[in-house]
Amino acid sequence: MQLNSFTLLLVALVPAGQALAGHMGKGIPGHHIQKHHHDLATPSLLKRAPAAAATNDASFANINSTTAQCKPYYIESVSAFSKEFPPVWEIADILPNDTEAQQIWQRIQASGKIPDIAPRGLPTGSMQGNGSRYDAVADPDCWWTATKCTTPKHPGIPNDIVTCPEPHIWGISFDDGPNCTHNAFYDFLKENNQKATMFYIGSNVMDWPLQAQRGLTDGHQLSAHTWSHRYLTALTSSQIFAELYYTVKVIKYVVGVTVTSYRPPYGDIDDRVRAIANALGLDTIIWTDDTNDWQIAPQGPSPTAVIDHNYGSIIAKATSTPLDQAGILVLTHEINGETMDEWMKEYPLVKNAFKHVVPIDTCRNKTQIYQEQQYVYPNFSQYIQGNTMPQGLPKANAIKAKAAQYTITASQPSRPLTSTAAASSKGTGSQAGSKSAATASFSSSTLVLVAVAAAVIVGSSVTLAL
């Protein structure tokens, strides 16, 4: 499904692009656009000159032409460390020479915590093929796609996070970013002092590193959304591990933070996926309400009016259903210009209907949302008073991401186990296993993105604590 003639063309095109662009611009070679729910390369990208659009996320953020935002650019240090990652948009697996990843994966397997559940269906649809033979009545594996189950059946796995657990809340989250053309949308969020949980796809982070950095410097809450956006339950266990592991790692390398949660594409999880994620220190986040905005025309099949209606039904819940127990958590997308425009159009209605519009970890009073302790996000009460900006962030005009140390905690529950759905949906706010016997560290080339009198400095000797 992934490999088509465009892929090959794009790969072939890259060396020329690099030569043209010098050391400015685009994240990595081999750029391949994969559409979310259908799979098409974008021919027009081939024709665009890979000129430098910007050299850091502050200068990038000032580009308002969508065409210029999506112009491929090239950053040498990102290109250099791309060798430590699977090819973008292909199903990840542990690289044959990645002994660190192999050791962590062996340790996770040896823990005996991964249930023996076979892959099902296809990476393009886990309910296809033998996936259709699942016993959805007994639901032995708590397979969300079949039953919407969020309370694991196997022992030792935390419940999924489903709600934004504060009354009368619209829990705000955007999947599939960073999209190249997100500046107007991120500007809009900024002007409204609105933060959101951003579920970034690893391949998009590699393709569009400056856009990913803006997500952090704007104060959003970053979370993982797998490497290649496939149905996870269809994959082998080492592929599931790699889809999560390399996404967390690329976010660390590009942005400088180690995320502690993820959302599965299509919600496709079972206890095997959950257990692997948990061993990587990742909370599983689902949603209560789906706008289906990714279907919006012209890139999707549904006229705007249909998506308006979907939003309307969710907004109506503010008055029609008791939301005093737990706020809803809504699935919306950063996947393309139309889904972002749709959000900006609906936002006044959402704001008007709900008491607050709050990112997920803020609903949980979780203020340290990354393994790096220096980033401190506002808690719920601070946030609703308008203090939405986290502390400890790098400055947008001089962001330097140094990925010398990527340390994950393995075989340690990301949060204390809870036995009831209520406890799970409330969350605990406890910090993801920050201490563990099983840790591993990584080194990489230093990524330094500084605009200094039009010069781009790339050097491993320059470090800055973020």
Ligand X SMILES: *[C@@H]1O[C@H](CO)[C@@H](O)[C@H](O)[C@H]1NC(C)=O
Q: What minimum distance in Å lies between the beta carbon of 103 and ligand X?
A: 13
Segment interacting with ligand X, rule: CB under 6 A, options 178-186, 188-196, 261-269, 274-282:
178-186
Q: How far apart are CA 89 and CA 376, in angstroms?
A: 32
Q: What minimum distance in Å lies between the beta carbon of 225 and Zn ion?
A: 6
Q: What minimum distance in Å lies between the beta carbon of 411 and ligand X?
A: 23
Looking at beta carbons only, is 382 or 418 nearer to ligand X? Answer: 382
Q: How far apart are CA 463 and CA 466, in angstroms?
A: 9
Does residue 380 touch ligand X according to CB under 6 A? yes
Looking at beta carbons only, is 336 or 411 nearer to ligand X? Answer: 336
Please give the torsion angle defined by the CA atoms of residues 98, 227, 73 and 339, in that order, rounded to the nearest 10 degrees: -170
Residues of this chain, 247-266, that bind Zn ion according to CB under 5 A: 265
Counting Cβ atoms within 10 Å, is residue 432 exposed (0-12), middle (13-18) or buried (19+)?
Answer: buried
Choose among Zn ion, ligand X, none what residue 320 binds, the Cβ cut-off being 5 to 8 Å by kind.
Answer: none
Q: Which of 182, 225, 229, 333 is catalytic?
A: 333
Choose among ligand X, Zn ion, none what residue 441 binds, the Cβ cut-off being 5 to 8 Å by kind.
Answer: none
Q: Are strands 169-177 and 356-358 parallel, antiparallel or unpaired?
A: parallel
Choose among ligand X, Zn ion, none what residue 325 binds, the Cβ cut-off being 5 to 8 Å by kind.
Answer: none
Q: What minimum distance in Å lies between the beta carbon of 267 and Zn ion?
A: 9
Distances (CA, A) of 85 to 122, 213, 250: 23, 19, 8
DSSP 330: E
Greatest CA separation found in the chain? Answer: 65
Q: How far apart are CA 99 and CA 103, in angstroms?
A: 6
Q: What minimum distance in Å lies between the beta carbon of 380 and ligand X?
A: 4
Q: Is 341 a catalytic residue?
A: no
Q: Are strands 408-409 and 439-440 parallel, antiparallel or unpaired?
A: antiparallel
Q: Quick one: which of 167, 159, 154, 139 has its CA closest to 328? A: 167
Contact pattern for ligand X over residues 295 through 334, marking x by CB under 6 A: ----------------------------------------
Looking at beta carbons only, is 165 or 411 nearer to ligand X? Answer: 165
Choose among Zn ion, ligand X, none what residue 265 binds, the Cβ cut-off being 5 to 8 Å by kind.
Answer: Zn ion
Q: How far apart are CA 217 and CA 377, in angstroms?
A: 12
Q: How far apart are CA 394 and CA 205, in angstroms?
A: 18
Q: How far apart are CA 342 and CA 254, in angstroms?
A: 29
Half-sphere exposure for 388 (CA within 13 Å, toward CB):
22
Choose among Zn ion, ligand X, none what residue 224 binds, the Cβ cut-off being 5 to 8 Å by kind.
Answer: none
Looking at beta carbons only, is 204 or 284 nearer to ligand X? Answer: 204
Residues of this chain, 103-162, that bind ligand X according to CB under 6 A: 118-120, 130
Please give the torsion angle defined by the CA atoms of residues 291, 68, 91 and 264, in that order, rounded to the nearest 10 degrees: -30
Does residue 178 touch ligand X according to CB under 6 A? no
Does residue 237 touch ligand X according to CB under 6 A? no
Q: Which of 1, 19, 22, 83 binds ligand X (CB under 6 A)?
A: 83
How are the residues of the chain apportioned to helix, strand and coil, as percentages rounded to the nearest 5? Answer: 35, 10, 50
Q: What minimum distance in Å lies between the beta carbon of 136 and ligand X?
A: 13
Residues of this chain, 167-206, that bind Zn ion according to CB under 5 A: 175-176
Q: Is 293 a catalytic residue?
A: no
DSSP string, 372-400: STT-B---HHHHHTT--PPBSPPPGGG-E
Residues of this chain, 191-210, that bind ligand X according to CB under 6 A: 204
Q: How far apart are CA 102 and CA 91, in angstroms?
A: 17
Choose among Zn ion, ligand X, none what residue 62 binds, the Cβ cut-off being 5 to 8 Å by kind.
Answer: ligand X
Distance between alpha carbon 17 and the CA centroid of its chain, in Å? Answer: 27
Q: Which of 379, 434, 436, 460 binds ligand X (CB under 6 A)?
A: 379
Does residue 400 touch ligand X according to CB under 6 A? no
Looking at beta carbons only, is 252 or 411 nearer to ligand X? Answer: 252
Q: How far apart are CA 410 and CA 418, in angstroms?
A: 19
**3-state DSSP call for residue 371?**
coil
Does residue 371 touch ligand X according to CB under 6 A? no
Q: Is the N-terminal amide bond of 298 cis, ω within 30° of 0?
A: yes
CB contact burial 158-184 (16+ within 10 A = b; e otherwise): bbbbbbbbbebbbbbbbbbbbbbbbbe
Q: Which of 175, 176, 218, 283 is catalytic?
A: 175
Residues of this chain, 409-448, that bind ligand X according to CB under 6 A: 426-427, 429
Residues of this chain, 18-47, that bind ligand X according to CB under 6 A: 33, 35, 42
Looking at beta carbons only, is 339 or 388 nearer to Zn ion? Answer: 339
Choose among Zn ion, ligand X, none what residue 175 binds, the Cβ cut-off being 5 to 8 Å by kind.
Answer: Zn ion
Q: Which residues contact Zn ion (rule: CB under 5 A)?
A: 175-176, 265
What residues are annotated to the active site? Answer: 175, 333
Q: Which residues contact ligand X (rule: CB under 6 A)?
A: 33, 35, 42, 62, 64, 83-84, 95, 97, 118-120, 130, 165, 179-181, 204, 335-337, 364-365, 379-382, 426-427, 429
